[in-house]
Structure 1
Amino acid sequence: MFQMHDVAELLTWHMNHKNSDGKMHHPVDSVSWDSIDAKWPDFSNDPRNLRFGLATDGFNPFSNLSSRYSCWPVMLVTYNLSPWLCMSKENIMLTLLIPGPKQPGNDIDIFLQPLIDDLKLLWDGVEVYDVVSKSNFNLRAVLIWTINDFPAYENLAGCTTKGKTACPICGEHTHSQWLYHSKKLVYMGHRRFLPPSHPYRRKKSWFDGKVEDRQVPRIANGNAIDTQLKDFQNFFGKVDKKKRKRQKELKGMWKKRSIFFDLPYWKELVLRHNLDVMHVEKNVCESIIGTLLDINGKSKDGYNARKDLQDMNIRHDLHPVERESRVYLPPALHTLSKLEKQLFCKRLYELKVPDGYSSNISNCVSVEETKVMGLKSHDYHVLMQQLLPVVIRGMLPKGPRHSITRICGFFNKICQRVIDRESMLEIEKEVIETLCLFERYFPPSFFDIMTHLVIHLGREVRLCGPVQFRWMYPFERYMKTLKGFVRNQSRPEGCIAERYLAEECILFYKNCVQGSTRLDDKQRRNEEFNNDIILEGRPISTGKEITLSDEVLNLAHQYVLFNTKAVEPYIEMHRNELILSNKRLANDDTQVMKVHSEQFPIWLKEKISLDVGNRKDSDILKWLANGPRKTAMSFSGYIINGQRFHIKSIERSTQNSGVSIDASAICRSSDGDGSPKFDVVTYYGVLTEIILLDYYVYRLPMFKCDWAKIHNGVKVDDGFTLVNLHQNQSQFSSEPYILASQAKQVFYARENDNSPWYVVLKAPPRGFHELDKYDENVDTSFVGDGSSLALDDIDDEFECRNNSRDDCEGILL
């Protein structure tokens, strides 16, 4: 790494990019990073010292999905690099490849021994030549945490992730309960995480029929665990069952002393093993959808779940009712009626999303059978982030609906690119209340270990920073790349190893010997090209020459002038001249704006000469003032700001025509208000035409849109912004154009076939988490306000209500 000049420079990125404003953009801003700096200042003094994250998981190296072969790559990522580089495929190091056909399980420590030895050596330091400083230095490295799914968590941490102590964070204090009829352990009791004075602790009938007096479980740190396992004797391979049972009785939740404790610094780390947000989010979303739609094998409700309620002596109105030879299950508050299930599936089936947002979810939806099957992890991710609250809008009673909305809001907040440390404390409190609401409205069988782990995710974000540096998505993609390396199916590990070494050699040659390609010079799908003629973006369709009418030309040119920064001084100059020349305009801002808009293009053309010798004004400003040609190029697709736009008329399976813009508008308190004020207003519309205005020496892209009316075409309902896209568009007939660079992409979800109202959703650009700059305008903030809904608003409606719905049919078995 330090032999390549570009890479060696990038490895010190973290030194000059640490934020002091309380915002976390990268692990360098996290508590975990600061803790290492404080405990080992000699390590942090040299910014070239490396900080690694380790990830491992099993994958099937063959195309035959029925094969149960599993090999385990062990990968390292370097957090010294910038956010857009450290998790990229090119910078993931394949350190070990544990061969199949079976997973290593608890014996993974044996395979990790060479890597641990190297990490111990790197902690002490090795002499390395730095091509930037042209000198040798003592290189050190630290492993700051591991990244893995929950089964691999057990293998690496050495603790059990099943049974009564399945939660590795709660440890021996895990609250578990055996459900006799469902034949499973569940993990509830989340009220104990609430403050001692919280009213939910005293409400017995809403939960398990008991008052909650227990305190928040204490989380054991690394030193405590290391002391506890000091004399633990590991047994690897096939061990006598009597020995294993006796060892288990002695150490409870621990299966072994993890090999990572051989690292001298491991016990001092703030957080050693990360919970994988990707798999937790996927499993929780799958449980919610399966329960709402009552999907066989996925639903957490049913006859056995109701019998468990009967055994627990709670929610008596949901107990099974014997009717002759059949059993009737009353509809719970989370139960959807048949019509609601069909509407749920229809909304998902008909929803079109922008390019690169997700896969085509409609392929996994059956409206007739009211089923959603075959979704991938990323599909569940986008459902949980934005789509699920929109799909259930208007369904279910208020309590369970807002419980789902709140947990979706929680996942949305922790998955943002920038995390506010202070706000995370409040988010942690909110998710505790949210899980208590789930305990109130959903059956006990819903609470498997994955649902319980949600309560610990906020703490890990607060300690370690944004989740995109600590989840499995980049490693799952990398394993797909490794899968493509296999050419000889009898020797898959050999193929992967040889191909990996060959590619590393080629990359080193290109960067070190030829010096041809920087690590960050990677072309993205929706990236713009540099063009001397087109100022912004790039077209992605065949152009068609059109002739603009005088009216359209004037409207477009006028908008360009009033929205170009170089023209701003002249705008103010012309306004002042108008007021000085006509004192009656001084007290009428509306009339000033009207005259100013009509006369400014002509005035500017006369003001700025096209004389090349006049160096006071820029060349762009001169040609801008002169005005565009009447002929322009029209396109059906355009890429700008990392987003792909298409006009409405050519859309098929994706929706890329939704546009929003924040613009200044005149706001009046009444029709007779003579002193209007300017305010920023968000406009929503649909893209209908893309043109390139020809200013002789350069071309400027413009979007023509049909805009929703502001006063009666846009409304906020239950925290969702809705727009009416079926109204007459005459209000904006004089202002249909905007600059392409001003457009923000949104997409719309229609309420139903008979409604003109559409819910607005924000669309992040493709590769959102890998962008090199943070832009608050493209953050996917939550669409509903259920995440911050006051608990009293939910409680009031259900204070005197039963636990069953009276507007929905039950289930007859």
Structure 2
Amino acid sequence: MVQSNAPASDAIRCPCWICRNNFFQPFTVVRDHLFLRGIDRSYNQWIFHGEDDPFQVNQSDDEDDGDDFGEYIDDVDEMLDDIRVGSFVEGATGLNSDGSDNDNAEPNVGTSRHHSFEHSDIFRLHASLLWTINDFPAYANLSGWSTKGKLACPVCTVDTDSTWLAYGHKYCYMGHRRWLAPKHPWRKNKRAFNGANEVQGHPAKLTAQAVLESLRMVSNVQFGKILPKRKRAPQELNWTKKSIFFDLPYWQDVELRHNLDIMYIEKNICDSVLSTLLSIVGKSKDTTNARRDLEHLELRKELHLCLDGDRCRMSLACYTLNHNERISFCEWVSQVTFPDGFVSNIAQCVNIREGKIIRMKSHDSHIFLQRLLSVVIGGFLRPNIKLALTELSTFFKELCARTLTYESLYRLQADIPIILCKLEMIFLPAYFDIMVYLAIHLPDEALLARPVQYRWMYPFERYLEKFKRYVRNKARPKSSIAEIQEKHVMDPASVPDEIYALACGPDKWAASYAGCIMNRIRFQTKDREGHRRTQNSGLVVRGEHQSNPIDLYGVLNDIIELRYMGWHKVYLFQCDWWDVSDKRKGIRVGDHLTSLNTSRTWYKDEPFALACQAQQVFYLKDISVAGNWYVVHKIKNRNVYNIPLVASVDDANDGAEFGDDDAF
């Protein structure tokens, strides 16, 4: 079994109790290791040698909560498989980099010796550091710039706009008007912001020479826990040390040394918004100290604390929900369903009785901020607040897209200062911690480093979860048909088998299914979702109506398998299509959301669509309007990318221009 599932090379992972699947060895060496040393007793499932991962087996319908991350094929697996013998150094077991017991062998550290596939010569492979991928607390450890205090922003550095909150005992970071156009009217709006005009431009990025000069001021660095802590001199700014990466000769010239992790930023922004809307005790940014700071700064008198005898009364702000609204908010969230593998069961984080949502993980916050927030707030908040939060949701959704264009990134660069200024006019200063402030730099980094899928922490977090699981596991024209059949009789080689099978027609018996996986996407009928916490019946098909292209949205009722000669099969989806012809009563397309009226159906005489043409969507109840209106969200399967078509290298001689392609 191992040999039949081995890759093309003659080496496999050795599962002996010393190598422990860390080293690739020839088959003969693996046999000797297993005979002399014995197999690793904890290696019960041979997942590296052809046996299926037991954690990827689907749960039953009654236990399925939609958390199917085990089915995710992670890129880290492929990267680890590409790492060969020279990358492993196992000092604890006394092994060398090749997994042998020879103590005289030379270990490979930093560089690696490799054999060429075409020649027998040996060359030395060198590696360079492109950038680091880390969460924000680790940013300080790797860069040497402290991400706390007055100058917490590692991008703005000395030009970080911060204000000390005397009662909240922390800094807030605003000053987003600096990124607005010089003649923007908000620059002179004192009352809605901090009580002053904004005349400064956006901060300039430090040059490599300026960074090195400021690092020369850092001295007397002592690592470890030191009591009392060393106070930094004013000229040291927020530098705590000179990063060891600056020993690399090219590091000072790298434009993006450390990535701001969008996963971490989204998580904190989503938690801040939810806790403030729902007034969650201990997490809300709208507290008595925040109101005192507002009074201390002499801003927004309508939100100051009101004296009521010996007590102070805090009025309900426009951005917070009352008790009944919080209950309705949580009830809506608890009833939302998603496609399998799209997100975990968010309903487990909802406490309807207390009206709060807690303990959401990073990916839950990612989905809530981009997909749910703009829908659920429609029935509770004022239009200006709803618009600001919807634009914030759309910003992160577009920024996290798998295909980015320069045009979209330049637009996001111009949009994010306006969005944050709108939030400044709504929320208290205490809301604007460093996580909110960092959002303004994300489009700039995307212009330098391109899509975020290659620069965030999700792949590494998922792979750590994988390690934890291992530990826990001890209609056809008849004339055309006749023509094809006749052509097949005269010249069989000119007609492909698939075309001839279709021309002969399907078998009179057909099969019906309640679920299937098509193009790596799981579809299930509407009836099957009665006992499930997930939603897999929504779909959209690109079609035509009166010679105009149109998206046909619907719900899946049945899956039919047609069988043809030669064991060929065709799958059809039988659907109910929603009426998208009426722009007022059937579909409403807004700037950020699209709503469908599911009480109006369309094309009842044409319910079928080819399964391979269907794309999955899911529906959320639109509480901003009465009736059976649902907001539709299109989704893309993870690890599937829409790569634009570009001219090949062979076409270069034909005068093809590659520099005009604006897609990454």
Please, what TM-score do these two structures have when normalized by structure 2? 0.77
Does 1:620 pair with 2:498?
yes
Q: 2:210 aligns with which of 219, 224, 246?
A: 224
Q: 2:522 aligns with which of 625, 641, 644?
A: 644
Does 1:604 pair with 2:480?
yes
Q: 1:715 aligns with which of 572, 581, 588?
A: 588
Tell me the SS of whatever aligns to 1:450: helix
Equivalent-residue separation in structure 2 for 1:98 and 1:336 (angstroms):
58
Query: How do residues 352-431 of structure 1 correspond to structure 2 at under 5 angstroms?
Result: 352-431=337-416
Aligned match of 2:332: 347
Equivalent-residue separation in structure 2 for 1:433 and 1:738 (angstroms):
43
In structure 1, stretches of 5+ residues that fail to align are: 8-82, 100-116, 488-557, 562-599, 667-677, 777-813
State the Cα distance separating 1:297 from its structure 2 match.
1.3
Q: 1:265 to 1:234 in 2, by over 3 A?
A: farther
Equivalent-residue separation in structure 2 for 1:6 and 1:259 (angstroms):
40
Residues 441-460 of structure 1: CA deviation (Å, up to 9, x unaligned):
11000011111111111111
Q: 2:534 aligns with which of 634, 651, 654?
A: 654
Q: Is this contact kept in 2: 1:128–1:137, CA < 8 A?
A: yes
Equivalent-residue separation in structure 1 for 2:163 and 2:268 (angstroms):
20
The sequence identity of aligned pairs, in percent, is 39
Tell me the SS of whatever aligns to 1:353: coil
Q: Is this contact kept in 2: 1:746–1:761, CA < 8 A?
A: yes
Query: How do residues 307-346 of structure 1 correspond to structure 2 at under 5 angstroms?
Result: 307-346=292-331
Q: 1:367 to 1:97 in 2, by over 3 A?
A: farther
Q: 1:746 to 1:218 in 2, by over 3 A?
A: same
Does 1:734 pair with 2:605?
yes
Does 1:686 pair with 2:555?
yes
State the Cα distance separating 1:201 from its structure 2 match.
0.6
Aligned match of 2:628: 756
Query: How do residues 43-54 of structure 1 correspond to structure 2 at under 5 angstroms?
Result: none
Residues 537-568 of structure 1: CA deviation (Å, up to 9, x unaligned):
xxxxxxxxxxxxxxxxxxxxx1xx4xxxxxxx
In structure 2, stretches of 5+ residues that fail to align are: 1-5, 10-72, 93-106, 646-664
Tell me the SS of whatever aligns to 1:441: coil
Residues 689-734 of structure 1: CA deviation (Å, up to 9, x unaligned):
101112233221000001112324322246422222233x4x4221
Q: 1:5 to 1:633 in 2, by over 3 A?
A: closer
Q: 1:231 to 1:442 in 2, by over 3 A?
A: closer
State the Cα distance separating 1:138 from its structure 2 match.
4.3
Q: Is this contact kept in 1: 2:187–2:198, CA < 8 A?
A: yes
Q: 1:232 to 1:95 in 2, by over 3 A?
A: farther
Paired residue type of 1:763: I
Moved more, 608-617 or 472-481: 608-617
Aligned match of 2:62: none
Equivalent-residue separation in structure 1 for 2:295 and 2:279 (angstroms):
20
Q: Is this contact kept in 1: 2:75–2:459, CA < 8 A?
A: no
Paired residue type of 1:480: E
Q: 1:178 to 1:761 in 2, by over 3 A?
A: same
Does 1:665 pair with 2:567?
no
Q: Is this contact kept in 1: 2:390–2:592, CA < 8 A?
A: no
Equivalent-residue separation in structure 2 for 1:360 and 1:303 (angstroms):
34
Q: 1:241 to 1:350 in 2, by over 3 A?
A: closer
Q: 1:339 to 1:204 in 2, by over 3 A?
A: same
Aligned match of 1:633: 511
Q: Is this contact kept in 2: 1:346–1:367, CA < 8 A?
A: yes
Q: 1:773 to 1:137 in 2, by over 3 A?
A: farther
Moved more, 233-242 or 168-177: 233-242
Does 1:302 pair with 2:287?
yes
State the Cα distance separating 1:231 from its structure 2 match.
5.8
Aligned match of 1:187: 173
Greater RCO, 1 or 2 (C-alpha within 8 Å, sep 6+): 1
Residues 11-49 of structure 1: CA deviation (Å, up to 9, x unaligned):
xxxxxxxxxxxxxxxxxxxxxxxxxxxxxxxxxxxxxxx
Aligned pairs, how many? 550
Q: Is this contact kept in 1: 2:214–2:235, CA < 8 A?
A: no
Tell me the SS of whatever aligns to 2:423: helix
Does 1:442 pair with 2:427?
yes
State the Cα distance separating 1:421 from its structure 2 match.
2.6
Aligned match of 1:695: 564
Paired residue type of 1:608: I
Equivalent-residue separation in structure 2 for 1:679 and 1:133 (angstroms):
58
State the Cα distance separating 1:474 from its structure 2 match.
1.5
**Bigger proportion of residues as helix:** 1
Tell me the SS of whatever aligns to 2:631: strand
Does 1:144 pair with 2:22?
no
